[in-house]
Amino acid sequence: MTTSPVARHVQSIPRSGIRDFFEVVQTMSGVISLGIGEPDFVTPWHIREAAVYSLEQGHTGYTSNLGLPRLRTEIAAYVQKHFGVAYDAQTEVLVSVGVSEAIDLALRALLDPGDEVLYHEPCYVSYSPSIALAHGVPVAVPTHAADGFALRADELAARLTPRSKVLMLNFPTNPTGATMERAELERIAALCQRHNLVVLSDEIYSELTYDGGSHTSIAALPGMRERTIFLHGFSKAFAMTGFRVGYACAPVELTEAMMRIHQYGILCASITSQEAAVEALRHGAPDVAKMHGEYEARRNYIVHAFNELGLPCHKPRGAFYVFPDIRPTGLTSQEFSLRLLKEKKVACVPGTAFGPSGEGYVRCSYATGLAKIKTAMGLVGEFVREVATR
Ligand code: PLP
């Protein structure tokens, strides 16, 4: 065959920059990784026990396509309590295979070919490819260190066209830890209403908001519930990445559309994971609080350490990432990450893995024990001093 059998829109999708980087990491031994975007905590025992008990009871079948009714009831109660948005558990909640599947369902449910999807950048690596795979057109809206990487309504407004259909938001943000001030979020909500945009609000880090601050979902602002798909899951706050369970909440018409795609493509999320998720929502709050406390202490340490080294690092108010500016070293983000890995065996992710506006920065995760973070920062210090004297 002379031409590739692979669909053109799939051929055009680049491989994840993070995956490529970690293939190099895997060939090395003794690396301290600040690169991983998942909790270093094992899922709390009572949640794992619920999964074990589910298996012991012989619960090994499919569930309803939308998910276990009692899980949907818990999700609706949780979202109402923590975000102040009411969804009907029977018709407006869909349990998915992680937020990853929910993002894909939402985009495929909404997009006709050529529709434009705006998202703030640097952003989670899957957004642009997921949009392209759903035949949409990705439109990046740059964010800036001077604004703490929050999205500015004027930057968004400047990129709206008659084909703009969806806005993807993720606060706190992967990779920058950015959060939004309510006043700016209100300006963004007003733009969405004026331009008839649907919002996908990826809330996956919302429990991990620090400095005593509270998180506001755009879905909770007046006039936004009806035009928002609220996406959330268990991977980060409950340390349940391997369970692969998340959810989408949205008005009936949108939930029904996502359900049709989910029903034929996936059928349902694993029952074992769904039963563990019920336990997480019922009794997991103390675990979330404990991990939150650990993350906040690590964040305080690592932000201070980068600034001490002369690499300016804004203090993110959420998630478990810092995004220091490495331009004082004179290296690109790719050079910095590769050389730090080869010369000091410390892994961090080049900012460009999260979009071109990530150039000049690297992402370091503090979902790693404090002792390891301290050792890693000592090595980063040696590296920065050696680069400066070469
Ligand atoms: N959204 C963001 C912003 C993420 O950072 C991640 C994972 O890193 C996901 C979604 C995927 O989450 P899940 O494990 O629920 O599929």
User: 358-380 pLDDT, tens per residue?
Assistant: 999 999 999 999 999 999 999 99
Confidence of residue 277 (pLDDT cuts 50, 70, 90): very high
Percent helix, strand, coil in the chain, to 5, is 45, 15, 40
Q: Are 131 and 86 in contact (CB under 8 A)?
A: no
**CATH architecture of residue range(s) 8-43+286-389:** Alpha-Beta Complex (3.90)
Are the C-beta atoms of residues 54 and 272 closer than 8 Å to each other?
yes
- List the end-to-end C-alpha distance of the chain, in Å, as a whole number: 51
175 Cα to the center of ligand 1, angstroms: 11
- Ligand 1, residues 124, 171, 176: which to mutate, most atoms within 8 A of Cβ? 124
**What is the 381 CA–ligand 1 centroid distance (Å)?**
30
Residue-wise pLDDT tens digits, 112-130: 999 999 999 999 999 999 9
* Residue 381 confidence class, pLDDT cut points 50, 70, 90: very high
What's the 204 CA to ligand 1 centre distance in angstroms? 6
**Nearby residues of 228 by Cβ (< 8 Å), 6 or more positions away:** 198, 199, 200, 201, 217, 218, 219, 250
Ligand 1 nearest atom to the CA of residue 103, by list position: 10
Mean pLDDT for all residues in the chain: 96
Which pLDDT does position 158 carry in this prediction?
Answer: 98
Share of the chain above pLDDT 70, in %: 99
Give tens-digit pLDDT for 40-76. 999 999 999 999 999 999 999 999 999 999 999 999 9
| Contact criterion met (CB below 8 Å) for 141 and 121 | yes
Per-residue pLDDT reduced to its tens digit, 215-272 = 999 999 999 999 999 999 999 999 999 999 999 999 999 999 999 999 999 999 999 9
Adjacent-strand bridge partners of 350 = 362
Q: Does residue 110 have a pLDDT over 90?
A: yes
Residue appearing with tokens 């059998």:
5
Weakest-pLDDT range from 18-32, 90-104, 179-193: 18-32
Of the candidates 168, 125, 15, the one whose C-alpha atom is nearest the C-alpha of residue 354 is 125
Asked whether 219 and 228 are in contact (CB, 8 A), the reply is yes
**Do 45-284 and 8-43+286-389 have the same topology in CATH?**
no
Distance 382 CA to ligand 1 centre (A): 33
Task: Kindly report, residue by residue over 295-331, the tens digit of the pLDDT.
Answer: 999 999 999 999 999 999 999 999 999 999 999 999 9
Task: Please give all residues whose beta carbon lies within 6 A of any atom in ligand 1, as ranges.
Answer: 37, 98-100, 124, 170, 174, 202, 204, 233, 235, 241, 246
pLDDT value at residue 23: 80
Q: How far is the CA of 222 from the centre of ligand 1 (A)?
A: 27
Ligand 1 atom nearest 124 alpha carbon: 3
247: nearest Cα among 49, 80, 92, 84: 92
CA-proximal residue: ligand 1, atom 5 (nearest): 174
Closest-lying ligand 1 atom to the alpha carbon of residue 241: 14
Number of residues that make up the chain: 390
**Sequence-separated (6 or more) residues with CB below 8 Å from residue 35:** 18, 21, 22, 25, 347, 348, 349, 363, 364, 365
What single DSSP character describes residue 209? Answer: B
Q: For atom 7 of ligand 1, which residue has the closest CA? A: 37
Answer whether residue 2 shows pLDDT above 70.
Answer: no
What's the gap in Å between 100 CA and the centre of ligand 1?
A: 6
Domain boundary assignment for the chain: 8-43+286-389, 45-284
| Residue 22 clears pLDDT 90, i.e. is over it | no
Question: Which ligand 1 atom minimizes the distance to the CA of 101?
Answer: 16
Angle 276-231-222 from CA coordinates, rounded to 5° = 130
pLDDT band, residue 162 (cuts 50/70/90): very high
Which residue has better confidence, 192 or 36?
192
- Of the chain, the percentage scoring pLDDT greater than 90 comes to 92
CA–centroid distance, 330 to ligand 1, in Å, is 32
Band (pLDDT 50/70/90 cuts) for residue 19 is confident
Query: Cα angle vertex 388, ends 385, 390, to 5°?
Result: 110
CATH class of the domain defined by 45-284: alpha beta
Which pLDDT does position 26 carry in this prediction? 84
For CA atoms 328, 175, 142, 13, the dihedral sign is: positive
Report pLDDT for 1. Answer: 57
- CA 346, CA 375: separation in Å to the nearest integer? 9
Q: In testing the pocket of ligand 1, which one of 36, 43, 99 has its CB within 8 Å of the most ligand atoms?
A: 99
What's the pLDDT at 21?
77
| Distance from the alpha carbon of residue 384 to the mean position of ligand 1, in angstroms | 31
What SS3 state is found at 32? strand
